[in-house]
Amino acid sequence: MAYTVTDIGPTTGVEISGLSGAELVDQGVADVASDALNRRGVVVFREANLSDGDLVAFSRLLGKVAQLPLGGDSEHPEIQKVTRDATKSKLAAYREGTFFWHIDGTTAEIPDKATVLMARQVSDDDTGDTEFANTYAAYEELPDDLKAELEGTRVVHSFAASQLLVYPDPDPKERAAWDRNPSREHPLVWTRGSGKKSMVLGSTAERVVGRSEDESKDLLTRLLDWSTQDRFTLRHKWRVGDVVIWDNTGMLHRACPYGEQSARLMLRTSLVGEEVVQ
C-alpha cells in the first residue's frame, strides 16, 4: 500500500493520505499512526470512510478498546454516536459541554489513552469543526519559573465544573445530580513513564488544591490561555468519512458550536488508558 505521512501544524497534527476503507485495518498502518500520534498528538485520515466494523477493528489495532457503560451502539457497543439529536443518542443533552476545552475522563484515575472519531455526517452550515491544543508543547515552552511553581501543584476535577460552564445557575436537584458524579484530584503536570510532560487542564478543572477560588481561577485561566495559542493548536474541518485520532492524555480538544438540528453525526471509540496521572 502506498501512502504519505505529512505534518500539518507547527507543533500538532499529522495527515496520512492514500488509504481508505479496509486498507486502514492493517497492523503496519496502525503502527505508523501510533508513531505519528506519539510525535504530534493528532492523526488525520481524510475521507477514509470506514464501516462500523472496520472502525472497531482499526481501533483494536491501536490499543485496547473501551466497552462503553452508556451510549454504546446496539450492534457495536464499542461505538458511541456523537450528536445533538436526542433521537440518536441518550447523551445528546450533554454535548453542549464539549464546546469547552477538555480532556476526556479526568474524573477517573486513569483517563482514556486516545480517541478515534469518524464523521458519518457533517453539518451543512459550516459548523462543528473540532479543535485540539497540544499541552506537551505548551508545557515545554513555559518559562522555567512557572514550571517550578507548578511542581507539586494539584487540581480537583469534577463533572459539575464542566456543567456549570453550560448551565451556570442550576436548580438544587440538578446540582445534586451533578455532584453525585465522583470528583478526582490529579497533579496539574502529568509526568509520563517516558519522561514527557503535559498539563491536565480544561472544563473539568474545578479548583487548585490549597489556593483560593480567585487564585485557582487565575492560574487555570492563564495556563489554558497559554496552551490554546495558535502555535499549539490545530483546527479540523470535517468531511464525510474523515477519521481523526488524538492523544487524549496530552491534547485538549473541543467541538466548535453546532446546533441541535445539525446533521453532524460522529462515531467514536475510546482506547483504554495505560498510565495513572502522576
Cα 204 to its chain centre, rounded Å, is 12
- Average pLDDT of the residues in 205-224: 98
H or E segment and range at residue 246: strand 243-247
**What are residue 207's DSSP bridge partners?**
156
Could you count the other beta carbons within 10 Å of the beta carbon of residue 96? 17
Copy the grid coordinates of residue 24: 486502514
Q: Which residues contact 241 (CB under 8 A, 6 or more apart)?
A: 20, 46, 47, 48, 49, 50, 118, 119
- Average pLDDT of the residues in 159-170: 95
Q: How confident is the model at residue 91 (pLDDT cuts 50, 70, 90)?
A: confident
Q: Tens of pLDDT along 116-137?
A: 999 999 999 999 999 999 999 9
Domain edges within the chain: 4-133+236-271, 144-228
pLDDT of residue 71: 56
Q: Tens of pLDDT along 102-117?
A: 999 999 999 999 999 9
Q: Tens of pLDDT along 238-257?
A: 999 999 999 999 999 999 99
Q: What is the DSSP letter of 102?
A: B
Closest CA to 80 of 93, 67, 64: 67
pLDDT of residue 73: 67
CATH topology of domain 4-133+236-271: Double-stranded beta-helix (3.60.130)
- Average pLDDT of the residues in 95-101: 94
Residue 72 predicted with pLDDT over 70: no
pLDDT of residue 70: 63
* Rounded Cα distance, 239 and 187, in Å: 37
Q: Which residues contact 206 (CB under 8 A, 6 or more apart)?
A: 155, 156, 157, 158, 160, 161, 183
